Chain A
Amino acid sequence: MQLSNRKKVIEQKPMTFSERIYFPAIIRGLRITLRHFFKKIPTVKYPEEIRPYSKNFRGQHSLKRDEDGRERCTACGLCALSCPAEAITMTAAERKKGEEHLYREEKYASVYEINMLRCIFCGLCEEACPKEAIYLDGPHVTADYLRKDFIYGKDKLVEPTFDITKLKS
């Protein structure tokens, strides 16, 4: 079938002498290879070397703390509801007396798990969160050997406590 009138007939000719000895072609090929030795390498040795990221890059989730170092998450379940990949599960618990310095609200997430194999890093959980508790501001989620190791619990997700007084010393 012909779509346009432009048509080029390719003709095959026997090889010339210079082609038959292969040498000029090999030299041309080596020249290209040699030229690439002096070119800038586009690959980056992640994670030792990190490229500049876009401001709105979405990486691993982190569960935030408030200014007093208390967990912001109140296990309302809106992130899990909004999650299109159904990657988030949680179990809520009631804050006991004496735990006010650990959790911001009356209710908190005792278990909070994200299945990183399911997660598509769309950021809808971030948008849904009424408490500004979850942000996808971490690095890339790294590779691992077992599927079960991709279920990140609170130990990996909750951001470490930040003590400003220790920062000075």
Chain B
Amino acid sequence: MSRPEARSAIVSPDRARGVDASLTSALYATMRRDLILLLRRPGAVLNPLAFFALVITLFPIGISPDPELLAIIAPGLLWVAALLAALLSLDGLFREDAEDGALEQLLLAPHPLPALALAKVAVHWLTTGLPLALMAPVLGVMLSLPLGSYGVLALSLALGSATLSVIGAIGAALTVGVSRGGVLLSLLVLPLYVPVLIFGAGAVQAAIAGSGVAAHLALLGALLAAALVFAPWAIAASLRISLNG
């Protein structure tokens, strides 16, 4: 235990040693805490996956089991279902933190809020987007997705869902103070999801048609890069606005 005099000394973060090290450990602790919370309550992780599987299972029953027809619509179906599954899980991204007071403590941490918010988004992608991308090829089999496009499907979803998480977090931050803000959140972010959907489904279609997929994947990567540059500041600003109200 330090001496009382030291406990009340004014510190200046610029002069304090290891500013970067303390930010890294704050980011690590935030990610670790969110991962533990999700492990203790796996429902939040399993719900989007179950939704994804259910929707894809029902389509062949509802439309037609004809493999040729299904192969045509499979890329779009898989992408739309994955996008909606990711959207479903976004509502809870900041809500629990806002209710138990952890969010205001996050805002009062002496670290850049965009970085801390991005750590939370990274956990969301790790527990939603990545599992969805890994699961998609399995569901592709059910829709008779042609061989050779499974890798592109998983890769496009992994890249695209990261963009979805980052952009969706802006909407989740804006609606955190609104009770039952799920519909509002969907209306806010769905227009921004359209480009990701177009290039994501386009990549899989291109893989099936045998044309080059590099352009589509490059565009998905560019969307992710742009989102990573701008969205963290928007998320931070949205959180400040929400808690100000």
A-B interaction: no
